[in-house]
Structure 1
Amino acid sequence: MQLHRFFSVLLLSTSIFSLAKAQKPVKNKSNWPVIEKQMKPWTRWWWMGNAVDEQNLNLVLKKYADAGLGGVEITPIYGAKGFEKQYLQFLSPEWVNILRHTVNKANTLGLGVDMNTGTGWPFGGPQIKPENAATKLITQQYKLKAGEKLTETIKVKEAKQDFAQLQALTAYGNNGEVLNLLSKVEGDGSLNWSPGSGSWDIYAAFAGKTRQMVKRAAPGGEGFTLDHLDKNAVDVYLKRFSDAFGDKPQGVRSFFNDSYEVYGATWTPTFFQEFKKNRGYDLASHIKELTGKDSTNANIARLKSDYRETMDELLLHNFTQNWSNWAHQLKSVTKNQSHGSPGNLLDLYGAVDIPETETFGSSYFPIPGLRRDAGDIRNVDPDPIMSKFASSAAHTGGKKLASSETFTWLTEHFKTSFSQCKPEAEQLFLAGINHIFYHGTTNSPANVSWPGWLFYASVEMNLNNSLWPQAQGLNNYIARCQSILQSGKPDNELLIYWPIYDVWNKAKGLDMPLKVHDVDEWLHPTAFYKLSKELSKSGYSFDFASDRLLKQSTVNKALISTNATAAPYQVLIVPQCEMMSTETLDQMIKLASSGAKVIFQALPKDVPGLNNLEVRRKQLKASLAKLIFTDGADGIKQFKVGAGVILLANNVQKALNAIGINRETLTDSGLQFIRRKTTTGKYYYLVNHTAKDIDTELSLNEEGQVLIMDPQSSNVGLAAVRDKKVRVQLKSGESLFLKVGQNGTTKTPWVYLNKAAHSINLNQPWNLHFTEGGPELPADQQLAKLVSWTTLNDPKLQAFSGTGVYTSSFTLSSKTAKEYVLNLNEVDECARVWINGQEVGILWSIPFQARVGKYLKAGHNTIKIEVVNLMANRIRDMDIKKIQWRNYHEINFVNINYKDFDASGWNVMPSGLIGPVSITAFN
């Protein structure tokens, strides 16, 4: 009831927050939704040393808005050396005033402001004294034989544990006896007890301190990490913010919490009481099993499952919900990265207003020409199934936004192109994410020489990046995509149960933080993961459900409703799992009885946990005995109950077919998709991440008029439909939207590129003129042939990062074709194109092509191409010359492998327009 009440209160309270409520985007004549600020990409905004001032903030905020960003997320961190006099103390009156100025200035520019509820990470600071700091379980062992007295006092031996509290003292006899000796300990720590017979192992359990400090703290944010499991500690932590804000809203849209990185925090002082209340037995009697090295005993696995479930409850109620309630009182919402937490990620994501995932490292895409250097590859690729934990929590909770911290360590510093960003962002969109945050942008005053202040783990999405003049290309693409991906509601037919007890039921270890970096351990080996991957590849759409979510779910007209504002689901799927509580199984049966369709890949075998085990096993057995299946076709067993049905089938796809749940066959072409449902129809977002161009006719599960919408160019046109199949053309690396339904007044047909008529190679000489960048502008060049500008004679060009403008001309004998396509082929790294003085647009990703027919004329034509390259060559030159450009407190600057950064050994990166450039006519 407590959780259900929380969700009800949250549903009511969020209606007062303008950005938490579902907004219907206003339609304009172009068929694209009007772009609102939350549809644009936002960015993590590092305030180094809090060395910020109104003049510089005004300058950079204007440039962020002009480049197409929608908002900033303030995270104060350590500062640059030599600027200490400009530092502001976090949450001081001066700092709060500059926050207010930032919010006001951002609002005038149409930008939103989010704020980390802290500095660096995780939450902590000077207000967290040792009694409220992150806590760990410390155990010590003693041995006594009959008649012996313990000569030493029972006190913590570990250094720097002055605040450790003795919480349990348990003696284990050699005949299985267990005695609680806590009451026998005197005030000075001496034990007033001696065994009458046998040998005894005595375990002392202390609530000690991890002594973890805030990582990358800003001035005024230094201190111990808080005890997230303790409500009083969280209240103490948040009171500092309330006091600094005068308990008044600050105009912050959302308070943010980074991924849970509270290391070794295995305990809280109230753990024994909470465990006994929620699990029904005394954990103090099991200290030996809890902390022993046996990693195979089944009962120890059950004990630790109970321990982990208790941690989950403490983290959910005392931190996540508590923090969200506090933010709501300040008229703000919460945005949380729940991954890394020792709890049920779905519930922890679901307890906030904007669940947020993250990408760390780079994925492999077989797109021809897409650079992926061996030195950029980390040990674990971003996993779309992992991202679906956050989007599922948003979808099942009826929340509009699911966000992502995006592009962390996508490549080595200064080598990230927009072309590399695109498929990584698209993979997030396909996983249900619709609110991208760049990681990130470092605030840097104008008087700091190039490359300015930089954070050590970011793609440098800032004003000093040589790519910045063309950042609108990427930003506008993301905004168009998110304008649709935030429209209507998700359209996922399947709800897949996540068997958390199978994850928790491990005898190894103690707490179990479920990290993005450890998916190989806790996610990939599971039947849940394998089934999810298989269903996705086959063309099904789904979200994930926890035990808590199912408990509050209902059935309406045979559809499963997880929340009053969420889109309903057609079927619940239960992957093969060992452990399931009787309560969850009974709820699944109840949903089916109320009209739902439920598919079990296999029936659960056992109940989780240790308490009343045999009683609960009998209850599970009795519930399973109610499921009287009859054999059907294709090995599918069926049990009709009430108004619904339960199927048992190892092959889940066959069971889905049997009850008329159709997959989208378009995935057979290699395309990936996600759907959104609106009042007038559905949107399909299609992405081609294969190595081949795709020109095919697709069958869609939704019928109606089909509008093709290209998020890169913003072009729109009616699709060709034949025999209810829609023709689509997508080159490798491209994406588009299909709007299916009643599309209104659009009459213009989409122009398909059929067989090429002829091509013109733009092989006239090119003039190359450098307009901005450094370390100094190279001289103009005349090029008979396009090559990397780093191979030209001017030695300045190998060190140059910036903008070069290419101009040339060509002759078009006649203009008779239906469409003409400009192909730049190789571009390092991004290009803005003009033809005959008219801007074509920014070609920033593979394939570097654009439709240009409307800009061409018969006879003489001119072309101008402005190209920006990476920062890499200039940084390389600075390191070769040992020019000092990085000088920070705490951590200076590291490479992708967290070693000292040094670019002096890098190869020169190709730069400029490589081509060959051509224009192809299509009829």
Structure 2
Amino acid sequence: MKTKLFLPALLFGMAILNQVDAQSPAKKNTSSWPVIERQMKPWTRWWWMGNAVDEQNLNDVLQKYSAAGLGGVEITPIYGAVGFEKKYIQFLSPEWMNMVRFTVNKANSLGLGVDMNTGTGWPFGGPQIKPENAASKLITQKYSLKAGEKLTERIQVKEAKQEFAELQALTAYSAGGETLNLLKLVQADGTLNWSPASGNWDIYALFSGKTRQLVKRAAPGGEGFTLDHLDRKSTDVYLKRFTDAFGNQAPGVRSFFNDSYEVYGATWTPTFLEAFKQNRGYDLSNYIKELVSKDSADENVARLKSDYRETMDELLLKNFTQNWTNWAHQQKALTKNQSHGSPGNLLDLYGAVDIPETEIFGSSYFPIPGIRRDSADVRNVDPDPIMSRFASSAAHTGGKKLASSETFTWLTEHFKTSYSQCKPEAEKLFLSGINHIFYHGTTHSPSQVPWPGWLFYASVEMNPNNSLWPHANGLNNYIARCQSILQTGTSDNEILLYWPVYDVWNKAKGLDMPLKVHDVDEWLHPSAFYKLAKQLDKVGYAFDFASDRLLQQTTVKDKTLITAAKAAPYQTLVIPKCELMNPETLEKVINMAAEGANVIFQDLPKDVPGRSNLQVRREKLKTALSKINFSPAVDGISQFKIGKGQIFLAADVQKALLLNGLKREELTDIGLQVIRRKTEKGKYYYLVNHTSKDIDAFIPINEKGRVEILNPQDGLTGMANVKDNKVRLQLKSGESLFLLVSNVPASATRNWTYLDMPGKEIALTNPWNLHFTAGGPELPADQKLNKLVSWTTLNDPKLQAFSGTGVYTSNFNLPNKKAKEYLLQLNQVDESARVWINGQEVGILWSIPFEARIGKYLKAGNNTIKIEVVNLMANRIRDLDVKKVQWRKYHEINFVNINYREFDASNWSVMPSGLIGPVVIKPYL
């Protein structure tokens, strides 16, 4: 391949990232928990509806975001609310820039960071993009002539609204296979001055046309055509508007953001033919007929389209992604990019920015008892952790500290998302290498807008109007503790797994190939690569993905593979079964083995991709393959020793890994999932139990040393019980823990308290007083409960419509306090609870299993308990729709349900709310 990563620009970006992360003065930390910095907290996408923002409201909401434990905001301007047009601010106007600078200054004073979308809505585009710079598409027209005939019509584009279309090629194909280039025979008025001497001919005209796609969900001042991402000049024109708006003062944001590539039908750019000839070595205009074939299964057509897709990849990487990143660095900022959906090599596109970002859309099934999953409230989408690894792999192999995710998009139907449902989805991301969560998201809403405020149509409503907001710190603190470790040190993945992108591109059907999150069942799931990745993950191997470009820049040191200066070394390169491979890639792999690397082929490649210089490249591949002379090793594995290293051929990759001395983490055999981080203190294991069963067992881990347990739910730590190189763990279904394995003195001063020998359960059966403190539409009257039930079933009609906060108080008698620990179990909570015992706050119990250790808060004799519970927004929204109150009135999409149909909650059932219990205390002797 002829396009190379611009390492100086990437290294510069990494330097900026390090500088940003080091803004706070270093603190001496003796705890095994890292000091929480702002990038370790969850951030949120922050929609500015109509850019209707002002300093007072910005000041107020930023304080609320900070107090709730958010680490930063990402400004994304979108369409506005009806009736507030006079308050709209034009995007990038001096007034808008003043609002951004006020936001940055205020946020920084509160310990918050600020990112900014380099555009409004999505994808990039706007008023500066005139037709000549707009997203382009390939348009073809077919004509037929017989011997002696002349074309009576002019060669002009027939599609409507294509006045800027340019004829770039005109090629005639005879029935006998002859090809003629007729472009120079077209007169200025479109008349073709040519007639075939014999036979029947088909003539294909190729035009560079325009998609005419407009920016989706544009904010005021952001309306216009979508950018031609494949053209450097167009990208420069687009970015110049920002440079001019900034003047000589960078806006002070940490990072510029680009959403997923959703440039529909952008199959061309005016310079495509020139770039194709330069990069592929032959003239694409001779193959228009093959290029536009739709349902062909012809191998040569597949090769042609592979070359077309590779050229598109190069143009997108160089002219947009690297170009945009270089521009951002000039503005003293980073880039954060969602590369999925792009018609290119996702690994390289993710790798060309400072913070690669994936997204999860929809919800996953988890067998965790008690977790709500109503089929009517979820989309039929299952976020795939292997897809998330494309972004995290680019971060890990590039030595980048952060890998982010747009998180919880359409997790459930509006107003029905609980923190319990959020937790395992976030954990799936962590397990796939993501360590910088962005909520999707938070809509800025002025204080004068009645409840529920302004809302975005695809959001989980992480905003102060959400009735769950008083307990947001529970979820946010959990994520911050997890990310504080997951951002520390480097990843500890031992395997580099090659992604055979040419097998993906080598399809005769279609034209461009956007690799979307939503289409993984088409381009990812059927591949041998995916099947191997799933298999390795299931049995406890850790890996990152590698592209051809990455392998070309990889070096070998002490038998390990070094992909970037700050990247952790890899122990083994694995090549999954693939049909096609560039000879340059194969030669590089062989050379790395000679330099000391261990390489495992699941199968050898059969051919080269594309049709450029095909026979010469086939000979090169054949020559490279002839260098590998395998000999039988053991159990179906063949081995070839070369230089300082060796190459294995094994259909069963796991056997070859074992032969190489790479041990899997056997703890996966009982259903635990794991990811590791390597730090100066030792290795951190992040362990998650997403099975339906509680786990209490001694589990094996590969790392040896002292083991400290760290609970990200409550921050508790203690030294683990280790026996025969196994660590005892107690993990309820839905829980997670960190282990720090180290050979240096531990920071924990006491042993972890295991909950053994349960005593007689103490049921809290005394009456409860229930008092409502916040919410609406009205505060219900106080209640006295002899039995805990959903407050919606109580004898007060206000309670069925109420969303907000209720406080339960009661007392109980503890005859004596002799147990080593006491566990409070709330059981059913709809939806989150904050607990006080004897006036001391225990914490927020916001997720299943709604338990907490409370021994230190108890006393012998009478004890008081207070439990503050918040419920969902759903019942109050239902009440508004039953009463036909118009609470949603937006331009463009207005407001839709999870299936993108008109939203109407009037037919919902009333959802259970409050503390339902039973509440018990379990002593452990």
Letter of the aligned partner of 1:8 in structure 2?
A: P
> Contact conserved, 1:114 with 1:254, CA < 8 A, in 2?
yes
1:62-91 deviations in whole A, cap 9, x for unaligned?
000000000000000000000001000000
Q: How many residues align?
A: 923
Query: What does 1:38-117 align with in structure 2 at a 5 Å threshold?
Result: 38-117=39-118
Match of 1:582 in 2: 583
The equivalent residue for 1:793 is 795
The one of 875, 879, 902 aligned to 2:881: 879
Which residue identity lines up with residue 6 of structure 1 in the other structure? F
Contact 2:5/2:352 (8 A) holds in 1: no
More moved, 825-834 vs 24-33:
24-33
1:707–1:743: 8 Å Cα contact kept in structure 2? Answer: no
Matching residue's letter, 1:202: I
Q: Is the 8 A contact 1:414 1:870 kept in 2?
A: yes
Please show how residues 641-652 of structure 1 align to structure 2 within 5 Å.
Answer: 641-652=642-653
**Structure 1 residue 922: deviation in Å?**
0.4
CA distance in structure 2 between the partners assigned to 1:22 and 1:504 by the alignment: 42
The answer to whether residue 784 in structure 2 is matched with residue 753 in structure 1 is: no
CA distance in 2, matches of 1:2, 1:302: 18
- Structure 2 distance, partners of 1:132, 1:151, is 33
Displacement of 1:478 in angstroms is 0.2
Q: Secondary structure at the match of 1:166?
A: strand
Structure 1 counterpart of 2:8: 8
State how 1:488-637 maps to structure 2 within 5 Å: 488-637=489-638
Deviations 1:497-544 (A, max 9, x none): 000000000001000000000000000111100100000010100000
* 1:194 Cα deviation after fit: 1.1
The CA deviation at 1:755 is 2.2
Does structure 2 conserve the Cα–Cα contact (< 8 Å) formed by 1:362 and 1:376? no
- What letter is aligned with 1:815? K
Note closer, same or farther for the CA distance 1:419–1:395 as it changes in structure 2 (3 Å cut).
Answer: same
Letter in 2 for 1:375: A
Whether the 8 Å contact between 1:144 and 1:201 is mirrored in structure 2 is yes
Deviations along 1:838-858, one digit per CA (max 9) or x if unpaired, are 000000000000000000000
Contact 2:32 2:747 in 1 (8 A): no
Tell me the secondary structure at the aligned position of residue 90 of structure 2.
coil
The Cα of 1:4 is off from its aligned counterpart by 5.0
Q: Does 1:908 align with 2:891?
A: no
Specify the alignment match of 1:158 in structure 2. Answer: 159
CA distance in structure 2 between the aligned counterparts of 1:111 and 1:384, rounded to whole angstroms: 29
Q: Aligned equivalents of 2:80 and 2:800: distance in 1?
A: 32
Q: How far did residue 757 of structure 1 move?
A: 1.3
Contact kept, 8 Å, 2:12 with 2:329, in 1: the verdict is no
Please give the residue correspondences for 1:355-754 in structure 2 after superposition, counting only pairs within 5 Å.
Answer: 355-741=356-742, 742-754=744-756
Q: Is the 8 A contact 1:122 1:260 kept in 2?
A: yes
Deviation at 1:614?
2.0
Contact 1:361 1:376 in 2 (8 A): no
User: Contact 1:718–1:750 (CA<8 Å) still a contact in 2?
Assistant: yes
Q: What do residues 145-165 of structure 1 show as CA deviations (whole Å, max 9, x unaligned)?
A: 111111111000000000000
Aligned counterpart, 1:171 = 172
Report the CA distance between 1:758 and its aligned residue.
1.6
CA contact (8 A) 1:15 1:21 kept: no
TM-score by length of 1: 0.99
2:827 to 825, 828, 833: 825
Q: Please list every run of 5 or more consecutive structure 2 residues that lacks an aligned counterpart in the other structure.
A: none
Does the CA contact (< 8 Å) of 1:169 and 1:204 recur in 2? yes
How many Å separate the matches in 2 of 1:438 and 1:230?
32
- The letter of the residue matching 2:260 is S
Give the whole-Å Cα distance in 2 for the aligned partners of 1:455 and 1:351.
Answer: 30
1:564 match: secondary structure: coil
- Rounded to whole Å, the distance in 2 between the matches of 1:140 and 1:3 is 32
1:878 and 1:19, CA in 2 relative to 1: closer, same or farther beyond 3 A?
farther
Choose which of 844, 847, 850 in structure 1 pairs with 2:849. Answer: 847
Q: Say if 1:20 and 1:333, in contact at 8 Å, map to a contact too.
A: no
Q: Structure 1, residues 322-349: CA drift from partner, whole Å, max 9, x if none?
A: 0000000000000000000000000000
Q: Which moved more, 1:799-808 or 1:5-14?
A: 5-14
The alignment partner of 1:634 has SS state of coil
Tell whether the 8 Å contact from 2:17 to 2:354 is kept in structure 1 after alignment: no
Q: CA deviation at 1:22?
A: 8.2
CA distance in 2, matches of 1:171, 1:19: 59
1: CA distance between counterparts of 2:360 and 2:734? 19
Contact 1:20 1:353 in 2 (8 A): no
Contact kept in structure 2, 1:19 and 1:253, CA below 8 Å: no
- Compared with structure 1, are the counterparts of its residues 25 and 500 closer, same or farther at alpha carbon in structure 2 (3 Å cutoff)? farther
Counterpart selection for 2:809 from 807, 810, 820: 807
Alignment partner, residue 204 of structure 1: 205
Task: Report the Cα distance in structure 2 between the residues aligned to 1:818 and 1:668, rounded to whole angstroms.
Answer: 32
Q: CA deviation at 1:872?
A: 0.1
Q: Does the Cα contact within 8 Å between 1:25 and 1:34 map onto a contact in 2?
A: no
- Change over 3 Å in CA distance of 1:373–1:669 after alignment to 2: same
CA gap of 1:376–1:7, structure 2 versus 1, over 3 A, is farther
Q: What SS class does the counterpart of residue 15 from structure 1 fall into?
A: helix
Kindly state the Cα deviation for residue 379 of structure 1 after the two structures are TM-superposed: 3.0
Kept in 2: contact 1:14–1:20 (CA 8 A): no
- In 2, the alpha carbon distance for the partners of 1:104 and 1:755 equals 55
Amino acid of the structure 2 residue aligned with 1:418: Y
Could you tell me how far 1:8 is from its partner in structure 2?
3.0
Give the Å deviation of 1:21: 6.4
**Are the equivalent residues in 2 in contact too, given 1:27–1:33 (CA < 8 A)?**
no
Which sits farther off after the overlay, 360-369 or 373-382?
373-382
For 2:855 and 2:141, how far apart are their aligned partners in 1?
79
Superposition map of 1:8-47 within 5 A? 8-18=8-18, 26=27, 28-47=29-48
The amino acid across from 1:353 in the alignment is: D
Per-residue deviation, residues 182-241 of structure 1 (Å, max 9, x unmatched): 111111111111111111100000000000000000000000001000000000000000
Alignment correspondent of 1:771:
773
Instruction: Name the CA distance, whole Å, in 2 between partners of 1:328 and 1:266.
Output: 29
Aligned-pair RMSD on alpha carbons? 1.2
CA contact (8 A) 1:147 1:195 kept: yes
Identity fraction in percent? 75
The structural deviation recorded for 1:659 is 1.1
In structure 2, C-alpha distance between the alignment counterparts of 1:26 and 1:665, rounded to whole Å: 37
Change (3 A) 1:22 1:138: farther
Match of 1:139, SS state, is: strand
CA distance in 1 between counterparts of 2:233 and 2:184 reads 26
- Three-state SS of the structure 2 residue aligned to 1:758 is coil
Secondary structure at the counterpart of residue 633 of structure 1: coil
The answer as to whether partners of 1:72 and 1:113 remain within 8 angstroms in 2 is: yes
Shift of 1:404: 0.2
- Indicate the residue corresponding to 2:231 in structure 1: 230
Q: Partners of 2:745 and 2:266 in 1: how far apart?
A: 55
SS of the residue 2:781 aligns to: coil
- 1:270 alignment partner in structure 2: 271
CA distance in 2, matches of 1:576, 1:251: 47
Aligned equivalents of 1:721, 1:867: Cα separation in 2: 39
1:181 match: 182
One-letter code of the match for 1:823?
Q
State the distance in 2 between where 1:591 and 1:486 align. 30
Partner of 1:250: 251
Q: Are the aligned partners of 1:272 and 1:284 in contact in 2 as well (CA < 8 Å)? A: yes
Q: Give 1:679 shift.
A: 1.7
